[in-house]
Amino acid sequence: MSAWLLRPAPEEPPGVVLRRLLEREPVVVAPGVFSPLSAVVARRAGFAALYVSGAGFSASLALPDLGLFTLTELADFVRRVYRACGLPLLVDADTGFGEALNVLSAVRELEGSGAAAIQLEDQPLPKRCGHLSGKSVVPPEEMARKVAAAASARRHALIVARTDARAVEGLEGAVRRALLYREAGADVIFPEALESEEEFAEFARRVGGWLLANMTEFGRSPYLTAHRLAELGYRVVIFPVTALRAAMKAAEEVLEVLRRDGTQVEVLDRLQTRAELYDRIGYAAYEEWDAQLAQRFREGGQG
């Protein structure tokens, strides 16, 4: 049951909650969510942290993953997702919406919206999906300045530094950058698009600390389980667009049936029922609260 309007305000900042989770758990699996309702479903499934993917958010706006959304749009989305689920959110801020000064603003804005961790990457604008060819990276010192700016601006949020250098400078370049970004203040290092289990293991051995692995579909990285990645040294595993891909595939199939048949009867068994939807959003809790409030004031008026 969601009923987020009726929940008390959280007692601890989400960054503190996420840090404690990382200190306690061998691995944190964070699926990507693409709406407040999808975040509620993920919480119901038992996940303790969630990922707000730049690619997923762009796709939800019918935009390519080229850094085309604004900080205001992302912050508003993060605010809506966080208040719906109340879970720590790792938020993909792409390149930080500009240079180091812009990063200061982005971190303050996103943490104020509920972000528990803020991710920056070392591509120039326009950035590209991390698993496509033709990427480039900014000079490492430029990214280090952004990381340092982010670390100075945050209050409790963790800073995640992603490097796309594997495809441009090889594994050696990715390792060098990771060590520099950690020295600049990154709490978590995210090596994007490693190409084998051996590379994941080598990177973890040489960089150490809190590491994040991306298990996106149809990309350059092999499919490894969260358990195996934990064995290799990774503390966070994200599945950024898995749920969105599944939801959109299902929507396409159902809409095709509607177009063809003019009725949804054939696919009723594939639809979330009214009762299931109401349960997810806490419909009954709102009705109960409203009835209790009305009763209290009726009784007060009679007295």
- Sequence ranges of the domains in the chain: 11-240, 249-302
Q: How far is residue 231 CA from its own chain's centroid?
A: 23
Q: How far is residue 50 CA from its own chain's centroid?
A: 5
Q: Is the pLDDT of residue 303 over 50?
A: no
Interval 229-236 mean pLDDT: 98
Q: Is the pLDDT of residue 60 over 90?
A: yes
Place of tokens 């990285």: 221
115: β partners: 89
Q: What is the Cα–Cα distance from 22 to 45, expressed in whole angstroms?
A: 19
Q: What is the Cα–Cα distance from 240 to 278, expressed in whole angstroms?
A: 26
Place of tokens 């109340």: 86
Position 1 confidence tier, pLDDT thresholds 50, 70, 90: low
Asked if 160 and 140 touch (Cβ cutoff 8 Å), the reply is no
Q: Half-sphere exposure of residue 303, counting CA atoms within 13 Å on the CB side?
A: 6
CA dihedral 138, 141, 146, 152 (to 10 degrees): 170
Q: What is the Cα–Cα distance from 124 to 168, expressed in whole angstroms?
A: 13
Percent of the chain residues past pLDDT 70, beyond the cut: 98
| Amino acid making up residue 47 | F
Q: State residue 64's pLDDT score.
A: 94
Crossing angle for the helix pair 36-44 and 274-281, nearest 10 degrees? 90
Q: Class of the 11-240 domain?
A: alpha beta
Nearest one of 300, 236, 268 to 30, comparing CA atoms: 236
| Amino acid making up residue 160 | V
The pLDDT tens digits of the residues spanning 3-58 come to: 888 888 888 999 999 999 999 999 999 999 999 999 999 999 999 999 999 999 99
State which H helix or E strand residue 194 sits in: none
Q: What is the Cα–Cα distance from 222 to 130, expressed in whole angstroms?
A: 14
